[in-house]
Amino acid sequence: MNYSLSFIFYISILSLFIFFLYIFLSRKINENILIKTLFNKNKLREHEKEINRYLEVLNNLNDGIAVIDRDKNVIFVNPAFNKNIRSAAIPANVKRFDFLIRSFELNSLVDSIIASNDIHFIEKKIKYFDRAEEKIVNCTIFKIGTSDEYAVIVKDATYLQKIENARTTFIQNISHEIKTPITAIMGFAETLKNGAIENRETSIKFINIIEHHTKKLNYLVDDLITLTNTETGKSPVKYEKINIKSSVENSLILFEKEIKEKLIDINNNILDISFTSDSSKFNQIVTNLIQNAVKYTEKGGIVKLEGYIIDAKTAHSFISEPEDASILWNNLPLKEGCEKFLFFSVEDTGIGVNYTNLLRLGERFFRVDSSHTAGHKGTGLGLAIVKHTLILLKGSAVVKSNLGNGFIFSFILPEIEEPS
């Protein structure tokens, strides 16, 4: 009896022990699971954060990135890719790479990398047309690691290409502009040396030609220096009171001879006003405009000059509502807080320019084709100087013309007391 009682006692103690052990262990296990779950959740959150970080970077890159599979289904595409090469207005359900992009060439490059086992990387500059505008993009296509996926990266290089083209054109033009007078100077000097100098009349004629070409070279170098200084900000803006009327009169004097010879009627409506801006830069603009008006107006034509003060509201409508077929230059926002603006315009009844050429005015060395400018000397830098000087003075301009029907160049300048 005693024996069985103590057996029951021990069994109960053991059961109790097992029971507590079970409770203890199960809590421990649950705790571990909980810790593990929490740990995984944290890890998941970290991963999510990391993915969002990468997505944010990819979505804000200027380079377009697309990831595609072997069948050319799009897995990922960032907004810049759409901007740089993707076709406009594609239905959202289109997921095939070849339907998304504009460039046949890029498509073929992708095909070649997918079809080949050896090529894993291609880099190429390609061109395509976007609403008649030529676009240039640098494309890089590569296989992503050992996966069956490919990354297509497109960088918009249109702007860089434009700069490169402008640089090449500039060097070609400048070489030509310098070479022509130099060849003439050398040729006539040599003819003089080889005997022509003996004849006084011929000598004078040749020396005049040499002088003419030397002057031309001199104007070209002057214009180039002015343009470079204006573009690079080497010529600082100095604000002072300008008497607009006398500044214009000083410019007109320079062309007095030509005005008389061509019987040009100068219709001068410049009001007697004082205005604060950079005097020599203002004069530079006006001189170039009057020079063009006189140069490109035939005998008996009219050049009309206007200059008066306008308020901010009128200045605002000048830049926001340009007339049909006119071109707005330097579309800068109006200088904040400025209430006083100068309105200035030079209008002529001359040969004018057609709309296509009007769009190009202000480009360095751009002159309307030679039959149009035949007989008129010039460097093709005048309007480029005007354009850049206007930017420095925070002004805007509107240019309007019709071939054979005159030319109007109007601009506004804000009055600036202190350099900002």
Ligand X SMILES: Nc1ncnc2c1ncn2[C@@H]1O[C@H](COP(=O)(O)OP(=O)(O)O)[C@@H](O)[C@H]1O
Give the nearer residue to Mg ion in terms of CB position, either 141 or 305. 305
Token representation of residue 239:
């604000």
Work out how close the CB of 248 gets to ligand X at its nearest, in angstroms, rounded to a whole number: 16
Q: Side chain identity at 127, as an amino acid letter?
A: K
Write a three-state SS string for 232-275.
CCCCCCCEEEEEHHHHHHHHHHHCHHHHHHCCCEEEEEECCCEE
Work out how close the CB of 179 gets to Mg ion at its nearest, in angstroms, rounded to a whole number: 21
Give percent helix, percent strand, percent coil of the chain, each to the nearest 5. Answer: 50, 25, 25
If contact means CB under 5 to 8 A according to the sort of partner, which of Mg ion, ligand X, none does residue 394 touch?
none
- Under the binding rule (CB under 6 A), the answer on residue 387 touching ligand X is no
CA–CA distances in Å: residue 293 to residues 80, 86, 255, 419: 46, 46, 10, 31
**Residue among 169, 173, 283, 373 that touches ligand X (CB under 6 A):** 373
- Under the binding rule (CB under 6 A), the answer on residue 344 touching ligand X is no
**Residue among 220, 293, 319, 342 that touches ligand X (CB under 6 A):** 293
Segment near Mg ion (CB under 5 A); pick from 220-228, 279-287, 377-385, 407-415: 377-385
Q: At what angle do helices 279-295 and 382-392 cross, to 10 degrees?
A: 150
- Under the binding rule (CB under 6 A), the answer on residue 177 touching ligand X is no
Q: Side chain identity at 265, as an amino acid letter?
A: D
User: Phi and psi for 305 in degrees, rounded to 5?
Assistant: -115, 135
Work out how close the CB of 150 gets to ligand X at its nearest, in angstroms, rounded to a whole number: 49
Work out how close the CB of 408 gets to ligand X at its nearest, in angstroms, rounded to a whole number: 9
If contact means CB under 5 to 8 A according to the sort of partner, which of Mg ion, ligand X, none does residue 407 touch?
ligand X
Within a 13 Å sphere around the CA of 352, how many CA atoms are in the beta-carbon half? 13
* CB 291 within 8 Å of CB 255: yes
DSSP state of 337: T
First to last CA, the chain: 111
Work out how close the CB of 247 gets to Mg ion at its nearest, in angstroms, rounded to a whole number: 18
Site for ligand X, residues 392 to 411, rule: CB under 6 A: 407
CA–CA distances in Å: residue 244 to residues 277, 359, 395: 10, 29, 16
Burial class (CB in 10 A: 0-12, 13-18, 19+), 200: exposed
- Under the binding rule (CB under 5 A), the answer on residue 84 touching Mg ion is no
**Residue among 230, 235, 292, 396 that touches ligand X (CB under 6 A):** 292
If contact means CB under 5 to 8 A according to the sort of partner, which of ligand X, Mg ion, none does residue 373 touch?
ligand X
- Under the binding rule (CB under 6 A), the answer on residue 304 touching ligand X is no
- Under the binding rule (CB under 6 A), the answer on residue 368 touching ligand X is yes
Give the nearer residue to ligand X in terms of CB position, either 115 or 374. 374
Give the nearer residue to ligand X in terms of CB position, either 124 or 360. 360
- Under the binding rule (CB under 6 A), the answer on residue 347 touching ligand X is no
Segment near ligand X (CB under 6 A); pick from 11-19, 307-315, 320-328, 380-388: 380-388
Segment near ligand X (CB under 6 A); pick from 135-143, 200-208, 273-281, 378-386: 378-386
Work out how close the CB of 382 gets to Mg ion at its nearest, in angstroms, rounded to a whole number: 3
What whole-number distance in Å separates Cα of residue 285 and Cα of residue 250?
13
- Under the binding rule (CB under 6 A), the answer on residue 378 touching ligand X is yes
CA–CA distances in Å: residue 166 to residues 217, 273, 356: 22, 40, 18
Give the nearer residue to Mg ion in terms of CB position, either 96 or 215. 215
Helix, strand, or coil (residue 307): strand
- Under the binding rule (CB under 5 A), the answer on residue 382 touching Mg ion is yes
Q: Dihedral through CA 323, CA 325, CA 327, CA 331, nearest 10?
A: 50
If contact means CB under 5 to 8 A according to the sort of partner, which of Mg ion, ligand X, none does residue 352 touch?
ligand X
- Scan for tokens 């290089």, then name that residue: 157
- Under the binding rule (CB under 5 A), the answer on residue 292 touching Mg ion is yes
Q: Catalog residues that contact ligand X under the rule CB under 6 A.
A: 288, 292-293, 296, 348, 350-353, 361, 366-368, 372-373, 378-384, 407
Q: Catalog residues that contact Mg ion under the rule CB under 5 A.
A: 292, 378, 382
